[in-house]
Amino acid sequence: METRATCPYCGVGCGVIIQHDGQRVIDVRGDPAHPANFGRLCTKGATLHLTTRPETRLLHPELRVARDAPRARAGWSEALAHAATKFADVIRRDGPGAVGFYLSGQLLTEDYYVFNKLAKGFIGTHNLDTNSRLCMSSAVTAYKQTLGADAPPCAYEDFDHTDCLLIAGANPAYAHPVAFRRIEAAKAARPDMKIIVVDPRRTDTAACADLHLAILPGTDVWLFNALLHVMLWEGYVNRPWVRQHTEGFEALRDAVRDVTPSVAAGICGVAEADIVQAAHWWGQARAPLSLWCMGLNQSHHGTHNGTALIALSLAVGKIGQPGCGPFSLTGQPNAMGGREVGGLANLLPAHRELANPRHREEVAAFWGVREISATPGLTAVELFEAVRAGQVRALWIACTNPAHSMPQQALIREALGKCEFVAVQEAYANTETAAFADLLLPARTWAEKEGTVTNSERRISRVEAAVAGPGETRADWRIACDFAHALGAALGREAEARRLFPYEDTAAIFAEHAASTRGRDLDITGLSHARLVADGPQQWPFPAGATHGTPRLYADGVFATANGRARFVVPVTTLTAETTDARFPLRLTTGRLRDQWHGMSRTGKSARLYAHADEACIDLAAPDCERRGLRDGELVRVSSRRGSIVLRVRTSAEIRPGQAFVAMHWGRNVLSSSGINELTLNHVDPDSRQPELKHLAVQVEKVELPHQALLMRSAVEADTANGLALERAAALEPWLCRFDHATLSLAGRDHAVLVLRIAHATPLPDAWLAELDALMGLQGEHCLAYTDARRAVSKKALVEEGLLTGLRLTGETAAAGWLTELMTGRAPTDAVRRWLFAPLAQPPVERASRGRIVCNCKDVSENEIRAAVAAGADLAELQRTLQCGTSCGSCVPEIKRLIGNA
């Protein structure tokens, strides 16, 4: 059987076709009819079916009735009644402002709608914010300040028409790969098209650019102002259009008068000539298009990063036409849908503003409630600070993992630990946040849920459920409705709750949401679930009577502001929230890996997705490693003004000296610390309230942790190996924080291998090793053991049916490399059996090391590509002989880089 849905990862919003037997998901492929991807998927989307294993799913409600008691299984009625009593007690005692909701851009629009109505329409609190605050809120405020509405004016098809694409603060090659495939195709079809990439790192995206402006972190506004300066000087500004359709230009013109390319070059750390070149390309372009994402948004002046970039489109009057405009990429699959229904602390449904009395009245009338409170809600960082301060006492978290993703994790842990009542609505039992839950409610997830989502280009897709959720899981909107009814009973307002939340299905919720948009900028009164199924995904606005959606906005030069004019904003020219000094001399930026998503609660379930990057690392430039006497693979202590963590160091040619990079995915489930968010700071943009997750000042020092161990475990049969790896990983997660450094990962392809790496300052106690052996299943008649107590060396090897299926190396790990390849490669052990415990750095019989996997779809490694390139192969030859880069294409930029570096 086949069912249409969308990929639950990034904001490209690719359509997928799920193959299933009604009970289990069997496979997934791209939907050829979906306009976001036309059948393409990236490595993450193409492996979705491998992430649906049941081992770590939350299957039943779990309730903790006393603070220090363990959670125990509960029925839904008991669980919801308990939550309702807790919320009602707090609301009666401390008012509605003492409860809060923290939601997710991964919820479906219908889920969001119900939660928003529950908080703002029924309880009377605007303390409802989401992880979209960490992702897109600066783009939202930038659009609203300049164009008047939170509406990206572009479409993906603009990639096919632009002749100058300026990508700033985004790495779509990794984070939005299917969109990047379209950019690559456009460039291949029209080689004269210019691509300019603004990024401190030489990412795979930057490597494909005609011009890479590797600016210093935080200097984006200076660069954009300098581009405008050159455009003014060279006469590229479309003054008649600016006069007719905008306001505020003179103030910005005056502000950039002294921002010459020379001045900006000094501040941004790039060549003056490159700034001038970029301005010429942009100014002369027939269809200039800008693209941005987290690199601009996650800044303490993220709004002004966006307004300064948008100003470049307004200055040339190129917006609303094919190939033109400022286009923000959405990080999450449905951050747009969440904003449409008002799912942020400052919003009301259909892009209405909480601060606007008329909007509050409209929403109160629409929902049939007495009033909408005028008291502002708390945004993400403020919400958790209020929890920490004891002002918010009951918190409901759905479909997100703030104990991983919020900045300054020590404060978040303190807040969650103190909170009087924490309910967590989750698909997975083992997220970092689940550990803090007084109540865990099992939610359905991808392939089990149905509703709608909106992607980066305002395109609404219908998502259908392929299989039933396991155990007692319920859809998120259903849980929200059930809780609303229970809370109504607890507050003595049951009839009102049943009137406000009467929904039997998501179609009814969507219909109400659509009705709320009548006459608004995002009017979708012409859409319904049935129409989306019949006619396919549609871009809003789509008012009643429309026959098709709207690919581009503002083509008539009339904007969503009160007077119809777009606005130029004079941006602040501060740099980063935190400066470097002698103690913290390195500028660290954060970002994404190609094959992982957010906190890895889903992608972390597939061994294949660790093949490209299997461990948390900090990237440093070679001179910074040399200065510190560091070699690749050594452990370092990374410290900021808020704490320190231990990571493995990797020399990278992608970053400049004085900078560092850490991916944001790794957290306490796979690492002995909370990862980089232990060190980030919670300084927010004053307009968008988005924290500066992208930049911090750090020091990196070598750390000596001489007592190392490697434990690995697989099984002979694939299904046993995969299932046991996840079960064992869940059992080992609480252990990670005992060690000075530890990482947990999966390796292999179809047979998962669980890998635990440990480094500790003192010898690992025998009792710990015995417990770890038991958790890893390193016992029994097939388990060989070797101990040299004098040298504190002990080793174990499990050999089943001629295969190495378990291993522990303690005190002597020289052979870790080839033994890992032996195990993940499932090679027979006969020839090497007597060497299993030898301290050999190289395999005793010749065996080519594969190294890191570059092409995940075709399982082609870096070493295999390097060898072929050394023999003279170009991209076409590599694709013909090794097949690498011939499926999803996510690895093509990296293959090109390997060819270029050869």
Site of interaction with ligand SF4 (CB under 6 A): 7, 9-10, 12-14, 37, 41-42, 44-45, 176-178
Phi, psi dihedrals of residue 795, rounded to the nearest 5°: -140, 150
For residues 245 and 565, is the Cβ–Cβ distance under 8 A?
Answer: yes
DSSP per-residue letters across 584-613: S-EEEEEE--SS--TT-TTGGG-GGGGSS-
Give least dist CB 320 to ligand SF4, A: 26
Give least dist CB 565 to ligand SF4, A: 35
Which of residues 30 and 843 has its CB atom nearest to ligand SF4 in the complex?
30
Please name the amino acid found at residue 795. K
What does the DSSP 8-state code read for residue 449? -
Give least dist CB 297 to ligand SF4, A: 17
259 Cβ neighbours under 8 A, 6+ residues apart: 222, 225, 226, 228, 229
Residue with nearest beta carbon to ligand SF4: 45
Which of residues 37 and 829 has its CB atom nearest to ligand SF4 in the complex?
37
Give least dist CB 205 to ligand SF4, A: 13
Name the nearest CA neighbour of 878 among 870, 887, 889, 869: 869
Please name the amino acid found at residue 734. P
Name the nearest CA neighbour of 540 among 613, 602, 460: 460
Give least dist CB 406 to ligand SF4, A: 22
Which of residues 41 and 484 has its CB atom nearest to ligand SF4 in the complex?
41
Give least dist CB 233 to ligand SF4, A: 39
Which of residues 28 and 647 has its CB atom nearest to ligand SF4 in the complex?
28
808 Cβ neighbours under 8 A, 6+ residues apart: 709, 710, 711, 712, 769, 772, 773, 776, 778, 794, 795, 796
Name the nearest CA neighbour of 317 among 291, 286, 292: 286
- Cis, bond preceding 843 (omega within 30 deg of 0): no
Tokens of 670: 């796979």
Give least dist CB 15 to ligand SF4, A: 9
Which of residues 174 and 421 has its CB atom nearest to ligand SF4 in the complex?
174
Give least dist CB 459 to ligand SF4, A: 12
Which of residues 14 and 381 has its CB atom nearest to ligand SF4 in the complex?
14
Which of residues 37 and 590 has its CB atom nearest to ligand SF4 in the complex?
37
Which of residues 42 and 381 has its CB atom nearest to ligand SF4 in the complex?
42
Which of residues 15 and 691 has its CB atom nearest to ligand SF4 in the complex?
15
Which of residues 297 and 794 has its CB atom nearest to ligand SF4 in the complex?
297
Give least dist CB 47 to ligand SF4, A: 10
Which of residues 182 and 388 has its CB atom nearest to ligand SF4 in the complex?
182
Which of residues 7 and 99 has its CB atom nearest to ligand SF4 in the complex?
7
What does the DSSP 8-state code read for residue 509? H
3-state SS of 848-885 is CCCCCEEECCCCEEHHHHHHHHHCCCCHHHHHHHCCCC
DSSP per-residue letters across 99-121: EEEEE-TTS-HHHHHHHHIIIII
Specify the residue for token string 């980063």. Answer: 576
Which of residues 9 and 503 has its CB atom nearest to ligand SF4 in the complex?
9
Give least dist CB 156 to ligand SF4, A: 11
Sheet architecture: strand order including 25-30: 2-6, 15-20, 25-30
Give least dist CB 9 to ligand SF4, A: 3
CB atoms within 10 A of CB 534: 9
Tokens of 839: 């301290």
Give least dist CB 804 to ligand SF4, A: 34
Integer Cα distance of 639 and 439 in angstroms: 35
Integer Cα distance of 185 and 188 in angstroms: 5
Helix (H, G, I), strand (E, B) or coil at 191: coil
Which of residues 38 and 786 has its CB atom nearest to ligand SF4 in the complex?
38
Integer Cα distance of 298 and 689 in angstroms: 10
Across-strand partners of 762? none
E strands present in 66-163: 72-73, 99-103, 128-130
Which of residues 177 and 591 has its CB atom nearest to ligand SF4 in the complex?
177
Give least dist CB 316 to ligand SF4, A: 30
Across-strand partners of 567? 247
Give least dist CB 581 to ligand SF4, A: 38
The 10 Å CB-count burial string (b at 16+, else e) for 185-205 is: ebbeeeeebbbbbbbbbbbbb
Give least dist CB 342 to ligand SF4, A: 24
Phi, psi dihedrals of residue 788, rounded to the nearest 5°: -125, 90
